[in-house]
Amino acid sequence: MSTRRAAIAWLSAALLAVSGCNRGAPESPRQNPSTDPHAAHQKSSAGSAAARRAPNLSATPAPGLAPSGMVWIPGGEFWMGCDECGMPDALPVHLVSVAGFWMDPTPVTNSEFDRFVRATSYVTIAERKPDPREFPGAPPDTLVPGSIVFTPPARPVSLDDFSRWWSYVPGANWRHPGGPASTLEGMDTHPVVHIAFEDALAYAKWAGKRLPSEAEFEFAARGGQDRTLYPWGNELRPGGRVPANIWEGHFPDANSRADGYFTTSPVTAFPANPYGLHDVGGNVWQWCADWYRPDYYASFPDPNAAARNPGGPDSSVDPDEPGAQKRVTRGGSFLCSGDYCSRYLVGSRGKAEISSGSSNLGFRLAKSAE
């Protein structure tokens, strides 16, 4: 059952697919929020990674002038995944080699998506009325266009019940990210959200680009840094600064906005990584081309032999939601927190059902070298 279908049917369990995070065991050590919640991971990871050889980071020069607005990602080897951080789907850490490619420096913005819609008259999945044949037994008054929106509860709640902070909101879509009464006023440079996989593919075709593979995204997000925790290094808040748009405070009821934002932020609000990429950790989740399987990393026969340009598994399997077709998402979002979902960690993974969008899900594009 798809996330959108389940949300319309008021099945709160299906909200798993838009959170980008897994139920069950904590994803990071529960420490004092004033400290780095991954300090224990940083220490243990350094030990487990010490025996691994350094990857070959020799840069491939750009093959020519950059496509308009894109930056060159030089390719090379890297250790893909996340050691000892409580995320089984990010294990085992394995050596990967990717070829050089071009990438957008930011997620696609509202103004960019608006130009696409004006040029093509495209209608996103969230704006389409659900087909009653796909929702047998659903009350007719629930079969209305909409999407899934984060709505914080007024007080602390159990983190086992996603419906306490996720809701299917009729009328929510990329033009109205918080619901029908919301607008994009002042948000031209914010990332477009409520984007389903099909929507991202349609934009990519129009733009003459493609979605990045999961391996490409992680390599680019690391910016040439070997085995760091975050796209910006090994400290969650270097020099006391908040380096990305992530959840600050007690999730999901209290956001201190120490980073300056409650939901999305302008795509260049925070510093770029060494490759010139913004928002590769925080702000919005971003679609990758790969199907999602939690056991995919275990399929590499020798984790010490570099897998070249892996493109993901042939199909999707997610035991948390059998039957749902999911693709990988990367980068975390403004909802990621050390209390609950710490997937701003650069080696961590997200997932989303392909026919669904949400208020923290967008995309960026890549282009192969000619």
What pLDDT was estimated at residue 46? 38
Q: How many CA atoms lie within 13 A of 265 on its CB side?
A: 24
Q: What is the DSSP string of 39-82?
A: HHHHHHHHHHHTTSPPP--PPPPPSSSPPTT-EEE--EEEEES-
Alpha helices, H only, the chain: 3-8, 16-19, 39-49, 110-120, 197-207, 214-222
Q: In whole angstroms, give the CA distance from residue 269 to residue 124.
A: 27
What pLDDT was estimated at residue 4? 58
In this structure, of 45-49, 115-119, 305-309, the range with the lowest mean pLDDT score is: 45-49
DSSP state of 328: E
Q: Express each pLDDT in 204-249 by its tens digit.
A: 999 999 999 999 999 999 999 989 999 999 999 999 999 999 999 9
Q: In whole angstroms, give the CA distance from residue 253 to residue 195.
A: 25
In this structure, of 11-20, 188-197, 250-259, 347-356, the range with the lowest mean pLDDT score is: 11-20
Element (H, E) at 330: strand 326-330
Instruction: Evaluate the omega torsion of the peptide bond into residue 29 and state whether it is cis, within 30 degrees of 0.
Output: no
Q: In whole angstroms, give the CA distance from residue 266 to residue 151.
A: 20
**Cα separations (Å) of 139 from 115, 130, 136, 144, 165?**
36, 12, 9, 10, 23
Residue 27 banded pLDDT, cuts 50, 70, 90: very low
**Tokens encoding 284:** 């919005």
pTM of the model: 0.90
